[in-house]
Chains A and B, each alone.
Chain A
């Protein structure tokens, strides 16, 4: 594993913003295949997008829900 977990989390985040280079993609994939902590973190960082979308209440029917 050439990349540290810290670097990998940064790559996962940047991968949402820009096209990663070939080498970055290979290193990322290799690290994720071997590191469960980063796989979990990666899933969770991406899940945040769907969570952020949910911060808008669609219409009046959901408004009263606590």
Chain B
């Protein structure tokens, strides 16, 4: 993990804090857009976050970095937005064409055509931050709900009931989405030269 911000300095003045909160806006917008996949929804979620932060900035105790604190608020707003949009549009049934996208990977008996090779030092790439840009690009290539399922599960850490509630789907459906996301991302990383 990266070096923690030192907190020996006194808490900033309110004006200063306000400016620093505003300065985080571009980062938060990028973070929200990656998960919401919709510019307007991302703008809304960030706006709500900044508002909550500015009115409740006493909640910022300076123990974590400002960015970590703001991102923590934004995470809840993101899940709220996904839940609302899932309620508006019913989820398409994933059963038809079940995993047909991966048919090319396997032969008729279901065995690898081209068995995956071990990746060279993936942890190292992770630590050096080389992975982030590739993973973000790969996520953008997924269908929105597939990407949302993956990010809510693996990034935000929601469990199956929470995930189902947010997406308005059955557990089985959520597992199909996660399987597709993981398989597609694994393949995408590999095709972009990751692990070699």
Contacts and interface: CB of A to CB of B under 8 A. Distances in A.
Contacts of B111: 4-6
Given A13-B182, A63-B67, A58 B106 contact: no
B27 A63 contact: yes
B110 A6 contact: yes
Contact of B116 (A14, A44, A51, A58): A44
Contacts of B9: none
A14 B179 contact: yes
Interface residues of B, number: 53
Interface stretch (B41-49, B51-59, B85-93, B149-157): B149-157
A18 B160 contact: yes
Interface string B101-132: 01001100111100111110011001001011
B2 interface: yes
A60 B5 contact: yes
B76 interface: no
B110 A53 contact: no
Contact of B67 (A4, A53, A59): A59
A37 B116 contact: yes
B185 A48 contact: yes
Contacts of B122: 44, 47, 51
Interface string A33-66: 0011110110111011111111111111111010
A60 B160 contact: no
A10 B106 CA distance: 13
A38 B183 CA distance: 12
Interface of A: 4-7, 9-10, 13-14, 16-18, 35-38, 40-41, 43-45, 47-63, 65
Q: 10 smallest A-B Cβ distances: which pairs?
A: A4-B110, A37-B115, A59-B65, A52-B154, A6-B110, A40-B116, A13-B179, A37-B112, A52-B155, A58-B2
